[in-house]
Structure 1
């Protein structure tokens, strides 16, 4: 397949296999001067979502070229192990729920118990696009909306063609990470949740600041059986815990780990990349810059992607920090990633023009 060339500023881009790779001009200025490999990735997906595998594969294509075909048989020694957030009980399961808000909300329940009957009749209201992605990875985008019946605005943005009922702004996650109790109660009334025979569960990241109000409003309106399961976003610092989340989301809708296509898909894709990298010359230095000119360092999911690709991050600081241009020029990273959607021109990003 012939690559597609797109002229941008003083460089050109090859678009192949969904990844954008820049071609350096002959007379180079700014960061072009040391002839790095430069590409763009969807930085928003380097997050607690199965879609992080899309970014990992794009990074591979930018650095090494076309990724080999998917490995569908992963050796047991290469399977990532993960801690389950779910415990089996005599009547169903207990699911760990974790809050990022301290002190904990007074009504917060750190264990949510679900019966087998509730699981069989489960309907999900998702306030996290990352958690919605987990359900999509298991059920597929055609079938998932039979289970995920309402969701936050980020899901509507990422899946605009979904078949969910749009009930005003019932699913809006408002400012300060609050959930509109008015819209949520309106949706539950609209869905006739008290009498339709389904069991409803709200899933969200654990930083809902109006958790007590949400809990009390549901109970006061007669929806005390609606469960709330929170996942601590800030604990997602490795691929293992991301698998724990995919597993937990599967269990609450009746999918066992061995049947969870989201888990097997993740394991196969990660192993495919790692196996392909094992045959490459690794150790190239790398730098990623987001639209705010910050770079992820140690303890980030981006660093995990770099490790899987055999790349060495020039940012040795913890978390997301801004490196000064002088240090970047001094390190001369062999690979530079920018974020898709960055509105700066390529010349601005590569410091040809400021």
Structure 2
């Protein structure tokens, strides 16, 4: 750590009228060159004054001592000094007399009346007393913490989204009748005030922002008082004590005071063991899920560098923090380039919207360690190139220091900054006490919540793990392969994926030339259903109807009265399937450029498609759509209009995905399509689904028969022969591999999908993803690391680098 020439002193001024709670003073005395312990000359004090007029002696409560002091002033035994005793004028009439004693007695006895308290702006604000039995509106999450810790959460009827959404897991919301706003802003508007009014709010505990909260409420809710108190750092205890008196909850507020002071004492005791030479230079900043968006919006990374900021106040106990009190904002931005140019020993990354907030993972109540680790691993990259990064000095926490819970994380911060002098157990015990005693939240902080980094990709200085730049998923030396996800659909080209993976894991594919279906042993004959039959000389196919749930094979029999002269496909893969059938029939190789007969036949058969199908067909399969093809809109009305223009002599089959009519989607396509067929029987619909390799084989054969080509059985024989030689060779190797497939959207792929089925049922691998969640679930990095899959596959369409996919920094 770099030695410092100056030690900052954090001091709280004795309570003065209309003064800020915290004063920071630089120690101008020369620091002894001897390596003194850090705690010498370093002080942090918490404002413990209850700022209600009547608290004459400036302590944490109103009691007989205040009456005695005021009586001494009246009797001339104590000088009347309203600068020294700003709250002695309990009646707020500018003088000290018996009215002040009567006022203090009224407060002690909890009699109804009016009182004055000093609000955040330093103003003496008159308010009804006591504030009990109220219907409370809260403008932000700090106010929720305050009301909760003084025991009045049950009175809350309206709350900002930072409470009802981001922290819905921490509070009983059953009495909340109005939720509003966004998770990132406390501002009130005319609309929000109207919502308060409808909810019956008669007391607002508001964020201390005059223009966006207090003044707005005064304009639209002039009869509803707004209590504004400090929300972070040294002001937290004073705020709690003040509201505790106003809401008849002094005991709860004083318990919070004892808790905070106990933490400060523990920190000071620990710092006695820290030498000045160990004191680091540290930058404190806020990071987000989408850091690039915030950097673009604010011109850089937001840093907490003003001594009025709660985070700055608390963390100044541990380090020589970067500060710039000339900034108008308490959290100005600094460019990444600027940060890289500095020489910070530590960088504390406060991840916003983490900690014990609501998880995005189904079934998880709290933000998980895995979610937090992902956030940090994304953020820490911005600090590559700094000495802090190289030395494990990028530390992390949740953004908690600007609320009443800020003190709860101090011991965790102490542990991360000085792991030789503080322990993880101390940090977690302090945090657990907060949740057990000052909130409604039931949580085990040793097992739940994401509030500091526990991953393996970066070695923080308090960890005993691998070097800072870990190997990520490469650490167990798996096979990593990119697969052609554009073929993961209802097309014979899906075997390209099987070939890519087989070659990456096993090597060259054995020859399967001239293998007949009858040559394949029964145990290696890949099974798939026959989706076609004949009845009375007519083709009967298996399709779906609007009762489908998307979890079964085709089940609905449909009799086709004709072989189509035209085909319309609502998915690009269906066109590719027809193209493959035509290429096989014409003895041409797909995608080779030597496919003129097949291409000609394709566009004679397909007269129209939607613009999205055209784009996908050209992008995914490199099949150029000629200008002769009509491009129709994507709506049901567009299809109805087009079908109405079809020549009466044409017989049309429309292939559409089963998803469009799935019962769980409550789609109206089924009704539209049925009406089209009833209006013109020469237009019929066949619905397709491809959740497994077997379903693709069944569907390919069926499509061939529908369009009048009899070569699809021989096509499938080639595929079955290739699967046979692959599986036989795999069995001979006598080794079963585990696998994990991840989409470009970072979704884990289950085995009951076409992609998962290729690995599972064709390549005989075992999926570490269990269940049938298709591609809608996620798997934490920790779960993947624990499972250590031997094959990891990522989509070729995934824009992430291989290093990113494999979770390397």
TM-score, length of structure 1 as denominator length: 0.74
Whether 1:204 aligns to 2:656 is: yes
State how 1:65-76 maps to structure 2 within 5 Å: 65-73=507-515, 74=517, 75-76=519-520
CA deviation digits over 1:105-139, x for unaligned, max 9? Answer: xxxxx544334xx31x5321111223223212211
Query: Paired residue for 1:139?
Result: 582
Partners of 2:546 and 2:670 within 8 A in 1? no
State how 1:243-262 maps to structure 2 within 5 Å: 243-256=697-710, 260-262=713-715
1: CA distance, partners of 2:546 / 2:506: 38
Structure with bigger strand share is 1
Partners of 1:282 and 1:310 within 8 A in 2? no
Query: Paired residue for 2:617?
Result: 158
2: CA distance, partners of 1:83 / 1:102: 18
What SS is found at the alignment partner of 1:329? helix
Q: 1:144 to 1:267 in 2, by over 3 A?
A: farther
What SS is found at the alignment partner of 2:655? strand
> Residue 334 of structure 1: CA displacement?
1.9
Whether 1:87 aligns to 2:554 is: no
Query: Paired residue for 1:130?
Result: 573
Query: Paired residue for 1:270?
Result: 723
CA deviation digits over 1:285-334, x for unaligned, max 9? Answer: 22211122221124233332223223222222333321111121122222
CA deviation digits over 1:186-205, x for unaligned, max 9? Answer: 3763xx521xx431111111
Q: 1:145 to 1:68 in 2, by over 3 A?
A: farther
1: CA distance, partners of 2:513 / 2:718: 10
Partners of 2:736 and 2:764 within 8 A in 1? yes
Q: 1:292 to 1:193 in 2, by over 3 A?
A: same
Whether 1:60 aligns to 2:502 is: yes
Partners of 2:640 and 2:672 within 8 A in 1? no
CA deviation digits over 1:84-111, x for unaligned, max 9? Answer: 22231334222233125569xxxxxx54
Query: Paired residue for 1:193?
Result: 647
2: CA distance, partners of 1:350 / 1:250: 41
> Residue 335 of structure 1: CA displacement?
1.7
Partners of 2:654 and 2:686 within 8 A in 1? yes
Query: Paired residue for 2:735?
Result: 282
Q: 1:46 to 1:124 in 2, by over 3 A?
A: same
1: CA distance, partners of 2:643 / 2:675: 17
Q: 1:324 to 1:93 in 2, by over 3 A?
A: same
Q: 1:322 to 1:241 in 2, by over 3 A?
A: same
Query: Paired residue for 1:229?
Result: 686
1: CA distance, partners of 2:498 / 2:716: 16
2: CA distance, partners of 1:52 / 1:84: 19
> Residue 281 of structure 1: CA displacement?
4.4
Query: Paired residue for 2:755?
Result: 302
Partners of 1:87 and 1:94 within 8 A in 2? yes
Query: Paired residue for 2:795?
Result: 339
Q: 1:70 to 1:144 in 2, by over 3 A?
A: farther
Partners of 2:607 and 2:629 within 8 A in 1? no
TM-score, length of structure 2 as denominator length: 0.35
> Residue 53 of structure 1: CA displacement?
0.7
Q: Which has the larger radius of gyration?
A: 2
Query: Paired residue for 1:114?
Result: 560
Partners of 1:86 and 1:93 within 8 A in 2? yes
> Residue 55 of structure 1: CA displacement?
0.5
What SS is found at the alignment partner of 2:794? strand
Whether 1:315 aligns to 2:757 is: no
CA deviation digits over 1:217-253, x for unaligned, max 9? Answer: 4655xx342111112x2xx444333222112111111
Query: Paired residue for 2:673?
Result: 214
> Which residue of 473, 497, 521 corresponds with 1:31?
473
Name the stretch that deviates more: 143-152 or 201-210: 143-152
Query: Paired residue for 1:242?
Result: 696
| Contiguous gaps of at least 5 residues in structure 1 | 1-26, 104-109
1: CA distance, partners of 2:793 / 2:511: 24
2: CA distance, partners of 1:54 / 1:252: 25
Partners of 1:289 and 1:337 within 8 A in 2? yes
1: CA distance, partners of 2:723 / 2:626: 30
> Residue 35 of structure 1: CA displacement?
2.1
> Which residue of 167, 173, 185 corresponds with 2:630?
167
1: CA distance, partners of 2:765 / 2:548: 36
Q: 1:156 to 1:123 in 2, by over 3 A?
A: farther
> Residue 352 of structure 1: CA displacement?
1.6
> Residue 183 of structure 1: CA displacement?
4.7
| Contiguous gaps of at least 5 residues in structure 2 | 1-468, 550-555, 584-597, 661-666
Query: Paired residue for 1:8?
Result: none
What SS is found at the alignment partner of 1:278? helix
1: CA distance, partners of 2:697 / 2:793: 26
